[in-house]
Amino acid sequence: MAGTPTPPTSRGEPDPAAARALYSRHADSYDVQTDWAGSDRAKTVDLLGLRPGDTVLDVGCGTGLCFAAIQSQIGPSGRLVGIEPSVEMLGRAAERVARAGWDNVDLRLGLAEEQLRPDDRLDAALFCFTHDVLRSLPALEAVVSRLAPGGRVAAVGPMWAPWWAPAANLLVWYVTSDYVTTYEGFSKPWSHLADLVPSLEVERIDLAGEYFAWGSI
């Protein structure tokens, strides 16, 4: 039907233009729609092992739902960089920052692979429900190359459940189809990150179709 977004069937590259269109639609209701994931976000921020004063990148920060957890650990002497290509999602993130009165946040509109600067130095990078980013090698290389020695990464997201759990996969597809632009790598979404961060550890929650991954360079 004309004008109706179609779910991704692609096993190819992430599509940034399609992602902008998706998240432009989601921005108003995103926080309510994804409220169920709050404890997963908190756990993933904890996996970064943040310290006061750290500089943290929230890659694909969306509306900034991870910001409060990050701020509570880095404190006012830390720095939070949020990169997000959807103007509507980043607008919600900016409102959140203004409401909280945080003055240590640097929000950048665009793709991670375009918005990191040569002199950015990161103590940690967060990938919270960012399948498209995890399947973009240019984005991952841009982020990992800015990590300081010992810099940490943590990721959470959906993945295919095992083949013998088709009902779980129907649910995974139903929940994710309007939030990703590719299913490429969906059996092992962390695989490119593991190539760049060899110490990466992974916790698979097979029947929930979800994983956590974390490590340091």
Ligand X SMILES: C[S@@+](CC[C@H](N)C(=O)[O-])C[C@H]1O[C@@H](n2cnc3c(N)ncnc32)[C@H](O)[C@@H]1O
- Where do contacts with ligand X occur on this chain (CB under 6 A)? 16, 19, 23, 34, 41, 59-62, 65-66, 83-86, 89, 111-112, 128-130, 132-133, 136, 139, 179
| Minimum distance of ligand X from residue 163's CB (angstroms) | 25
Of residues 138 and 166, the one with the C-beta less far from ligand X: 138
Sign of the torsion angle spanned by Cα atoms 193, 199, 204, 210: negative
Query: CB–CB of 62/23 below 8 Å?
Result: yes
Smallest gap from residue 126 Cβ to ligand X (A): 8
- Using the minimum distance from each CB to ligand X, give the nearer residue, 55 or 179: 179
The nearest distance, CB 70 to ligand X, in angstroms, is 11
Give me the least distance between CB of 12 and ligand X, in Å please: 14
Nearer to ligand X, 65 or 197 (CB): 65
Listed in sequence order, the residues at least 6 apart from 127 whose beta carbon sits closer than 8 Å to its beta carbon are: 59, 60, 133, 134, 153, 154, 155, 156, 157, 193
Tell me how many helices (H) and strands (E) the chain has.
Answer: 10, 7
Determine the Cα–Cα distance for residues 40 and 18; give it in Å rounded to an integer: 26
Least distance to ligand X from the beta carbon of 164, Å? Answer: 27
Residue in this structure with the two tokens 């990992």, named with its chain if needed: 144
- Using the minimum distance from each CB to ligand X, give the nearer residue, 25 or 79: 25
Cβ closest to ligand X, residue 95 vs residue 162: 95
3-state helix, strand, coil in the chain (%, to 5): 40, 20, 40
